[in-house]
Structure 1
Amino acid sequence: MGNSLFDEFPDISSKHWKQQIQFDLKGADYNETLIWNSNEGIAVKPFYHADEFKTLPPVSGSRATQWQISQSIFVADVDKSNKKAHKLLNRGVERLAFILPSKEVAIDRLLKDIDLASIPVDLYMQFLDADFVKQLTNHSKTKLNIHTDIIGNLARTGNWFSTLKEDHKQFEAIVTHTNSYSIDATLYQNAGTTMVQQLAYALAHANEYLNHLDTVITSEAKQTFKVSFQVSVGSNYFFEIAKLRALRQLWHTLASAYDVNTDCNIMAIPSKRNKTLYDYNTNMLRTTTECMSAVLGGANSISNLAYDAIYHKSNAFGERIARNQLLILKHESYFDKVDNPADGAYYIETLTDELAQKALALFKDIEAQGGFLKQLKEGTIQRKISESAAREQEQFNNGELTLLGTNKHPNPKDRMKDELELYPFVKTNPRKTLIAPIIERRLAEATEQKRLSNE
Structure 2
Amino acid sequence: MTNQDFYSFPPSSKDEWIEQVKRDLKGKDFEDTLTSSLWNKVKISPFYTSEDVDGLAAENKFHPDAKIPGTSPRVWNNVVSVFPENEKETNEEVLHALQNGADGLILHLEGTENLNQVLKAVHTEFISTNFLPTGETTQFFHQIQEWIDSLTLKPGMLRGSIIWSPCDKLFQSGDNFDEEVNQAAKAINDFKEFREFYPITINLSRYANSGATGIEELIFGLGEVIELIDVLSKRAISPTQVFENLAFHTAVGDSHFAEIAKVKALRKLIVELAANYGVQIEMENIHITTSTSQWSKSLLDKNTNLIRQTYEAMAGILGGGNSLWVKPTEGKDASVLEKRIARNVSSILNEESYLDKVMDPAAGSYYLETLQREIEKFVIEGLQDLEEKGGWLKSFEDRTLHAEIRDSREKAQKRVLADSDIKVGVNKYLAKGKLENHLAFEPIAEKEFELLPSRATYFVEQNILNHA
Q: Do the aligned partners of 2:203 and 2:249 also contact (CA within 8 Å) in 1?
A: yes
Distance 1:147 1:55, change over 3 A: same
Inter-partner Cα distance in structure 1 for 2:156 and 2:352: 34
Q: Distance in 1 between matches of 2:3 and 2:253?
A: 44
5 Å matches for 1:144-223?
A: 144=159, 145-155=161-171, 157-160=172-175, 163-179=176-192, 180=198, 181-214=200-233, 216=235, 222=241
Instruction: Map residues 417-428 of structure 1 onto 2, 5 A cutoff.
Output: 424-428=441-445
Would you say the 8 A contact 1:277–1:416 is kept in 2?
Answer: no
- CA gap of 1:222–1:452, structure 2 versus 1, over 3 A, is closer
Cα contact 2:215–2:375 (8 A) shared by 1: yes
1:400-445 superposed Cα distances (whole Å, 9 cap, x missing partner): 111112112324536979x75xx5434448xxx7x62112221223
Does residue 408 of the first structure (1) align with residue 428 of the second (2)?
yes
CA deviation string 1:236-258 (max 9, x = no partner)? 11000011011111111112223
Determine the structure 2 residue equivalent to 1:134.
Answer: 145
Which residue in 2 is equivalent to 1:121? 129
142-151 or 371-380: bigger deviation: 142-151
Q: Does 1:323 align with 2:334?
A: no
In structure 1, what residue type is equivalent to 2:157? T
Q: Provide the aligned length of Structure 1 versus Structure 2.
A: 441
Answering whether residue 282 of structure 2 is matched by residue 274 of structure 1, we say: no
Distance 1:442 1:4 in 2: 48
For structure 2, the residue ranges without an aligned partner over 5 or more in a row are: 64-72, 193-197
Answer whether contact 1:97 1:124 (CA < 8 A) is retained. Answer: yes
Evaluate the alpha carbon distance shift between residue 252 and residue 415 of structure 1 in structure 2; reply closer, same or farther with a 3 A threshold. Answer: same
| CA drift at 1:4 | 8.0
1:112 aligns with 2:112: no
Q: State the distance in 1 between where 2:239 and 2:449 align.
A: 39
- Aligned partners of 2:129, 2:203: CA distance in 1, in Å? 17
The corresponding residue for 2:15 is 15
1:352 alignment partner, one of 354, 372, 385: 372
Question: Is the alpha carbon distance of 1:416 and 1:223 closer, same or farther for their aligned partners in structure 2, counting shifts above 3 Å?
Answer: closer
Cα 1:364–1:414 shift into 2, 3 Å: farther
Distance 1:94 1:451, change over 3 A: same
Verify the 8 A CA contact 2:441 2:462 in the aligned structure 1: no
Counterpart in the other structure of 2:385: 365
Q: Whole-Å Cα distance in 2 between the matches of residues 278 and 341 of structure 1?
A: 34
Whether contact under 8 Å (1:189, 1:232) holds in the other structure is: yes
**In 2 relative to 1, CA 221–26 (structure 1 residues): closer, same or farther, beyond 3 Å?**
closer
Map of 2:67 onto structure 1: none
Q: Normalized against structure 2, the TM-score is what?
A: 0.87
Amino acid across the alignment from 2:174: N
Instruction: Answer whether contact 2:239 2:277 (CA < 8 A) is retained.
Output: no
TM-score scaled to structure 1, two decimals?
0.89
SS state at 1:396 partner: helix
What is the DSSP-based 3-state SS (H/G/I as helix, E as strand, rest coil) of the residue aligned with 2:59?
Answer: coil
Q: Give the counterpart of 1:225 among 244, 249, 270.
A: 244
Q: Is 255-264 or 325-334 further displaced after alignment?
A: 255-264
* Alpha-carbon separation, structure 2, partners of 1:414 and 1:158: 43
Separation in 2, partners of 1:314, 1:107: 23
TM superposition shift of 1:133: 4.2
3-state DSSP of counterpart to 2:318: helix
| Alpha-carbon distance in 2 for matches of 1:193, 1:375 | 15
- Report the counterpart of residue 72 of structure 1 in structure 2: 81
**Alignment partner of 1:37: what SS?**
strand
Task: Check conservation: 1:94, 1:119, Cα contact below 8 A.
Answer: yes
- What is the CA distance between 1:227 and its match in structure 2? 1.6
SS of 1:117's partner is: helix
Pick from 333, 352, 363 the counterpart of residue 313 of structure 1: 333
Measure the CA separation in 2 of the matches of 1:3 and 1:42. 32
Structure 2 Cα separation of the partners of residues 209 and 183 of structure 1: 10
Which residue among 296, 302, 309 is the counterpart of 1:287?
309
Structure 1 4/95 Cα, relative in aligned 2: closer, same or farther at 3 Å? same
Rounded to whole Å, the distance in 1 between the matches of 2:337 and 2:163 is 28
- CA gap 1:66/1:411 in 2 versus in 1, 3 angstroms: closer
Give 1:271 deviation, angstroms: 1.0
Distance 1:195 1:366 in 2: 16
Pick the aligned partner of 2:457 from 438, 444, 448: 444
- The whole-number CA distance in structure 2 between the counterparts of 1:25 and 1:189 is 37
Cα 1:3/1:42, change in 2 over 3 Å: closer
The question of whether the paired residues in 2 share the 8 Å contact of 1:125 and 1:147 is answered with yes
Residues 33 and 413 of structure 1: CA distance in aligned 2, closer, same or farther (over 3 Å): same
Structure 2 residue matching 1:65: 3-state secondary structure? coil
- Flag the 1:14–1:152 CA change in 2: closer, same or farther, 3 A: same
- For the aligned residue pairs, the C-alpha RMSD in angstroms reads 2.6
Give the AA of the match of 2:156: K
Aligned-partner SS, 2:357: coil
For 1:80-139, what per-residue CA distance to the aligned partner results, in whole angstroms no more than 9, with x for missing partners?
Answer: 22221110111011111111122x222222222111111121111223124444333533
Give the 3 Å change call, closer, same or farther, for CA 217–18 of structure 1 in structure 2: farther
Farther-moved stretch of structure 1 (133-142 vs 3-12):
3-12
Instruction: Quote the offset at 1:69 in angstroms.
Output: 1.1
8 Å contact from structure 2 (residues 209, 455) kept in 1: yes
- The answer to whether residue 266 in structure 2 is matched with residue 247 in structure 1 is yes
In the alignment, what sits opposite 1:26? 26
Give, in angstroms, the shift of residue 352 of structure 1: 0.5
Q: What is the deviation of 1:188?
A: 0.6
Question: Does 1:302 pair with 2:324?
Answer: yes
Aligned CA distance change for structure 1 residues 451 and 45 (closer, same or farther; 3 Å) = same
Partner of 1:380: 400
5+ residue gaps in structure 1?
Answer: none
Contact 1:226–1:264 (Cα < 8 Å) also in 2: no
Contact kept? 1:241, 1:293, Cα under 8 Å: yes
Check conservation: 1:231, 1:269, Cα contact below 8 A: yes
Provide the residue aligned with 1:338 in structure 2.
Answer: 358
